[in-house]
Amino acid sequence: MLRLAAFAVTSALAAAAAGPLPPLPLERLLSTPDRLTIDVSDTGNPRTDGEYRLECDPVGGNHPKAEDACARLDTLARQGKDPFAPVSDRRICTMVDGGPATARIKGTWHGKKVDTTFRRKNGCEIDRWNTLEPVLPSGRS
């Protein structure tokens, strides 16, 4: 019992001598990690169709270009853009068919829930898809 008490006192003295631990950033403790599931289909390229997991900060998952994808999302965030926002109803779009490719993205990004679908059905939607490359695979074969 005496040894245990001596150990406790020694440990307390060592911790006090080392000084207080730096505080953990509160925002980091309260934030939800950036984790997205990206389900891509009908691109015409079987190497890009499939389900991918993307984690950012730290980078992880099975996304083939995870570092580039996280960097792209960070760039859009610094520009004040929401990469998952739908095309505005007020925007005039060219009637160009970009093919049947579809991508559904679900998860959390910057603490917000994400559940959106990308298609290449007109010029605005093609631009929206291309803006998110390499998070989404290239729309070009």
Q: Is residue 18 part of a domain?
A: no
The pTM for the full model equals 0.74
Q: Domain count of the chain? A: 1
In this prediction, the residues of the chain whose per-residue pLDDT falls under 70 are 1-32, 139-141
For residue 76, give Cα distances in angstroms to 80, 81, 126. 6, 5, 17
What is the span of the domain harbouring residue 107? 33-131
Report the SS3 class of residue 126: helix
E strand or H helix at 27:
helix 26-30
pLDDT on residue 52: 97
In a domain, 61, yes or no: yes
Answer whether residue 137 is part of any domain. no
- Give pLDDT, residue 138: 78
* Residue 96 included in any domain: yes
In which element (H, E) is residue 68 found? helix 66-78
For residue 82, give the CATH number of its domain: 3.30.350.10
